Amino acid sequence: MFDYFVPFITCFGASALFGQAVLPMLKKLKARQVEREEGPESHKVKTGTPTMGGIMFLVPWIIVVAFYLPDHRNILPVMIATVGFGLVGFVDDFIKVVLKRNLGLKAYQKFGLQVILALVVCVIIMNHTNVSFDMRVPFTSIFTKSGAPVMISLGLFAIPFEIIAFGGTVNGANFTDGLDGLAAFVTAVIAIFMAAASAITSSGITPAASAMIGGLLGFLIYNHHPAKVFMGDTGSLALGGFVASCAIMMNLPIYILIVAFIYLAEVCSVIIQVLYFKATHGKRFFKMAPIHHHFELSGWSEVKVTTVFTIVTFVLAIVGLIAI
């Protein structure tokens, strides 16, 4: 229980208290959100809300998790992935909201940094842990006589696959961060799955997952609707790195498609919207993408979208645990 409750409670308290200090600093820096012109009309009132709030849970999480690092070496790749992608997001946020350069990092710069970080994490996993890149196939343990899951190996394609898993998950988390509390609530549920799955697989990353649950709940004190602060790319990219690295450390990258289905839906909605727009010369498949905006424009409130997406994630987290 030490690996569960202590990091959870400590990170929750630290995140809640740290937010009290960080929020005035963000306001002083004028690190404020600028809503895009093509966004929902109801979001225009959010302009001026402080962003880059991901540091509220990320800094306490780093401190708490570092305490467990000596006795839980499998946490290292998770920590590097979470911090690394968070730093990419921080640079992007800083350029956009502090230096007032609206575009932030260019797409190729952000993509390139993501690929490099994913590769670095994969190398660390290979050289500093006993974890392989074999992947559990969902539900197979139920149907095998031994009760052992079927594992598949991609051989030379393993690392490219993991890099794709990182890219998809990180950008999925980024797209999900579009409504008050949405990314934080959804990812808190995913982190609960990761903590439970860690116990099942004996992966040793339980403190990192438990701390993330606490950190996000502490952050939600400020991020629930109506949000006093947004996590920005600092938070959303860090969360994507956290989810992907946890899954890989437990041989569960395929499970991301189940448990982080909301991430997948957000990414796919953007891809479908862009391709359909180009193919039809200006028509839209969704009322607006990412898909959470489609539901908003269909009459759902922000709170309803966030609640439904969180419930869906909770149900799929249970399905994911059954599938292990």
In a domain, 287, yes or no: no
In a domain, 29, yes or no: yes
In a domain, 312, yes or no: no
- CB-based contacts of 311: which residues, under 8 Å, 6+ apart? none
In a domain, 68, yes or no: yes
- pLDDT given for residue 3 in this prediction: 72
Asked whether the beta carbons of 210 and 190 are under 8 A apart, the reply is no
- pLDDT given for residue 97 in this prediction: 81
pLDDT along the chain (324 residues), means of 10: 86 97 86 59 71 96 95 95 97 84 83 96 95 95 83 94 97 96 98 96 95 98 95 97 98 98 97 95 93 95 97 98 94
Q: Can you tell me the distance from the alpha carbon of 257 to that of 253, in angstroms, rounded to the nearest whole number?
A: 8
**H helices of 129-259, where?**
140-143, 158-176, 182-201, 206-223, 232-249, 256-259
156 C-beta neighbours (distance < 10 Å), count: 6
- CA-closest candidate to residue 211, choices 188, 236, 234, 235: 188
**Residue 168 belongs to what domain range?**
2-257
In a domain, 245, yes or no: yes
In a domain, 51, yes or no: yes
In a domain, 115, yes or no: yes
Give the chain's domain count.
Answer: 1
Return left, alpha or beta for 167; rule: phi > 0 is left, psi -120 to 50 is alpha, else beta.
alpha
In a domain, 207, yes or no: yes
pTM score: 0.94
- pLDDT given for residue 8 in this prediction: 97
Asked whether the beta carbons of 33 and 50 are under 8 A apart, the reply is yes
